[in-house]
Amino acid sequence: MEDEVLVELVHKGDSEALDFIIHKYRNFVRAKARTYFLIGADKEDIVQEGMIGLFKSIRDFREDKLTSFKAFAELCITRQIITAIKTATRQKHIPLNSYVSLDKPIYDEESDRTLMDVISGTKVMDPEELIINQEEYDDIETKMAELLSDLERRVLSLYLDGQSYQEISEELNRHVKSIDNALQRVKRKLERYLEIREITQ
């Protein structure tokens, strides 16, 4: 049965159809949640935000939107996760509360290489490899907290939220050149760390 038909059944009060869709999309939500992290929060917190996004997509989907349910669900899940992360980063009393998308290019906008490539390489099912990859992920997360200054973390977080240099400079009350310099330092630090890390492995 197609997702769109199942959603229609849910709208009519079919709880079995709801359970089926939630079960079907659970791994999809987990995969989406894995591409984000929030320092100081449990990974399951991001998964839960993704599940809230899934519920909203089921509730709000209409066939006349001229899109598939899966595409609509992906949009709702991603929006919910990013909104939750933005909200968390606004809590000024938690200095390390920032995230980085693992799908963001490492070196510059034209680069094909992402943090996810460095961490995972290829999809692995071997438990030993999975543990090693998790340790690498945790190591990069910790190192980023150590390497970047408070300003650099805040600039990076706003930049990854899609804000322009001008918007970031206004929000942080800093000159645009200061924002540009901070981002250049972030790129250099991450590039240097990843190069060293590959040499020592």
Strand (E) or helix (H) holding 165: helix 165-172
> Could you tell me if 41 and 110 lie in one domain?
no
> Could you tell me if 124 and 78 lie in one domain?
no
The crossing angle, in degrees rounded to 10, of helices 69-89 and 43-60 is: 130
Q: Give the pLDDT confidence score for residue 26 in this predicted structure.
A: 92
> Could you tell me if 182 and 196 lie in one domain?
yes
> Could you tell me if 170 and 148 lie in one domain?
yes
> Could you tell me if 79 and 161 lie in one domain?
no
> Could you tell me if 84 and 130 lie in one domain?
no
> Could you tell me if 128 and 91 lie in one domain?
no
Of 95, 110, 137, the domain-final residue: 95
Q: Give the pLDDT confidence score for residue 41 in this predicted structure.
A: 65
Specify the CATH number for the domain of residue 19.
Answer: 1.10.1740.10
| Angstrom distance (rounded) from CA 201 to CA 194 | 11
Two tokens, residue 106: 């490492």
Measured in whole angstroms, the distance separating CA 84 from the mean position of its chain's CA atoms is 10
Q: Give the pLDDT confidence score for residue 96 in this predicted structure.
A: 47
Burial class of residue 58 in the structure, from the number of CB atoms within 10 Å of its CB (0-12 exposed, 13-18 middle, 19+ buried): buried
Nearest in space to 119 (alpha carbons), one of 139, 136, 131, 132: 136
Ranges of residues in the chain with a pLDDT under 50 are: 92-98, 121-124
> Could you tell me if 201 and 104 lie in one domain?
yes
Of 44, 65, 95, the domain-final residue: 95
Q: Give the pLDDT confidence score for residue 87 in this predicted structure.
A: 78
Overall domain count for the chain: 2
Q: Give the pLDDT confidence score for residue 53 in this predicted structure.
A: 93
| Under 8 Å between Cβ of 120 and 95 | no
In terms of residue numbers, what domain contains 53? 1-95
> Could you tell me if 122 and 193 lie in one domain?
yes
Q: Give the pLDDT confidence score for residue 78 in this predicted structure.
A: 92
| Angstrom distance (rounded) from CA 88 to CA 145 | 16
Two tokens, residue 146: 């150590």
| Under 8 Å between Cβ of 23 and 58 | no
Nearest in space to 152 (alpha carbons), one of 96, 82, 83, 81: 96
pLDDT digits (tens, 9 = 90+) for 19-34: 999 999 999 999 988 8
Of 64, 95, 126, the domain-final residue: 95
> Could you tell me if 116 and 79 lie in one domain?
no
Q: Give the pLDDT confidence score for residue 138 in this predicted structure.
A: 67
> Could you tell me if 181 and 113 lie in one domain?
yes
pLDDT digits (tens, 9 = 90+) for 78-107: 999 888 888 776 654 444 444 556 666 655
Q: Give the pLDDT confidence score for residue 149 in this predicted structure.
A: 87
